């Protein structure tokens, strides 16, 4: 993330390169991208406690997502597939050992 932020509030060079590679591999140069930065920009006043939850409620709808069986995704992933997200914080500081 830019400036050591945990939340993707800006589109980085890494993001642009990843998007470019995905579009190329999928042969979808016209694919649209909805980056999380737009949500963070929209809801920033709420996150900073400058407005009520009404802001969030005006732009969101809550619906239960359909259940997906293991065969839908799990059967397509390698047995040793692992998804991980690392970011620095108080319990995992940005030190030479952790980089």
Does the global pTM surpass 0.85? no
C-alpha span between 49 and 11 (Å, rounded): 24
- Work out the burial of residue 39: count CB atoms within 10 Å of its CB; fewer than 13 is exposed, 13-18 middle, 19 or more buried: middle
pLDDT of residue 14: 87
Domains of the chain, residue spans: 2-64
Joined tokens for residue 66: 């359909």
Mean pLDDT of 24-35: 90
């Amino acid at each position: 993330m830019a400036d050591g932020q945990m939340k993707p509030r800006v589109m980085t060079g890494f993001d642009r390169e990843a998007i470019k590679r995905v579009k190329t591999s999928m042969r979808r140069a016209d694919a649209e991208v909805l980056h999380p930065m737009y949500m963070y920009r929209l809801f920033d006043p709420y996150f900073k406690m400058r407005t009520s939850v009404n802001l969030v409620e005006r732009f969101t709808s809550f619906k239960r997502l359909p259940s997906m069986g293991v065969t839908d995704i799990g059967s397509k992933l390698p047995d040793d597939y692992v998804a991980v997200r690392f970011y620095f914080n108080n319990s995992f500081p940005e030190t030479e050992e952790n980089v």
